[in-house]
Amino acid sequence: MIIFLSCQEKDASKLVFDLELVKIDSFVVKRDTRFKILDHHGTSGNYLGYDPITKSFLVIGQKGEIIDEVKRSGEGPNEYSNSLSTAAFYQVGGGIVVQSANELIWYNENWEIKKRWKYAPSFGVTVYGGPRFKTPYYLRNDATTPFVFTSFFPNVKVPFGEIQSLSPNGQIIEVFESNNDSLVWKLPVDFKQYTAFEPEEKGFDQAPVYHLDENSGSLLLTFDHSLTIGSYSLNTDFELTKAISLTEDKFADGGKGKNIKVFPVTDQGLGILRYSSMSELELKRKNEVNSNYTPLRDSELYRFYFIDSVTELVQEIPFPKRIEPNSELLPLGGNRILMRNRDREDVEIDQSSYSIFIFRKKEK
């Protein structure tokens, strides 16, 4: 069964939940090289990071202490390729899974290889500078090893016209099924639900924005310039179970902004992060005042929106100040999200600081 929700004729004053974004915790990691946090372990609370300068993985504790640093870059039996694109905790089987354009590796907790899978996808994405994404793997009820998207990453533009000529029925994701070492195309998408353009048209220029929700066994999918969010079941081969279609008037940017992130906010609904650009004239004025001004780092151009699953309504939530909006934005579960604090420009960087926020109901 497919449920279509249209957010067009509701009164925003009838929101069941009136949410706010509140800082609840923070930590500092003492390190003079810049790294990126890729994943969070739900049980231990540890974080997995990667340092492209030292080419090493970091396991970071809840208080910011570096528990482990591992460098296995090379061609040896326990080593990983220099061209890794993703990494994540393998929370079900234990250890870490890392991925390159043609390989998936499962390490145990001691960083010894338990399994190495090779594959040759029809379409590949090469990432420079080490892993930039959380490994897009998921489990199915009938399998005990991970299934992984081979080249379908958030905010990376995909040549959908070319891909649809390769896939048998217009699917957009090639999945490596590690239980039988096979590559299978999944998720046929009717792009008319997401955009007015077709993949072969000049105006079609979309990057996927998605979240693999392990708790509900679903893929939340939208595109950077789309106002529709689809929910697909992972256990029934990406069957579309719900589609939420929004209208331009629900957003401060009039629908002209760009989706950056989509994620669940427990059973209350969905959260999306949008970026709104500015006119060339306004950008010129900003640069006259500050020659180092960069719109992508301007937190005032970013906004969270909460979509209530009960009333189908949209609530705007301001983006916090002094946060790097185009750096780590990692959903932690339980309505929480990790974000990187903006570095001070007047001091030498010898640490990275993070804040944890929670979406919660406003107190009256």
Tokens, residue 192: 């008319």
In terms of phi and psi (left: phi > 0; alpha: psi -120 to 50; beta: otherwise), the region of 101 is alpha
- The reported pLDDT for the residue numbered 346 is 66
Residue type, 239: E
- The reported pLDDT for the residue numbered 123 is 84
In tens digits, the chain (364 residues) has pLDDT values of 444 455 554 444 455 568 899 999 999 999 999 999 999 999 999 999 999 999 999 999 999 999 999 998 877 778 887 789 999 999 888 999 999 989 999 999 999 999 999 999 988 888 888 899 999 999 887 778 899 999 999 999 888 888 878 887 889 999 999 999 999 999 988 888 898 877 777 777 789 999 998 888 899 999 999 999 999 999 888 999 999 999 999 998 888 899 999 999 977 799 999 999 888 899 899 899 998 888 888 999 999 999 987 777 899 999 999 999 989 999 998 899 999 999 877 677 889 999 999 999 887 6
Summary count for the chain: helices (H), strands (E): 2, 26
The H or E element spanning position 280 is: helix 280-289
CA dihedral 269, 192, 238, 117 (to 10 degrees): -110
CA–CA dist 186, 192 (Å, integer): 18
Tokens, residue 319: 């983006």
- Do 338 and 354 form a contact (C-beta atoms < 8 A)? yes
- The reported pLDDT for the residue numbered 126 is 80
pTM above 0.85, yes or no: yes
Tokens, residue 266: 């427990």
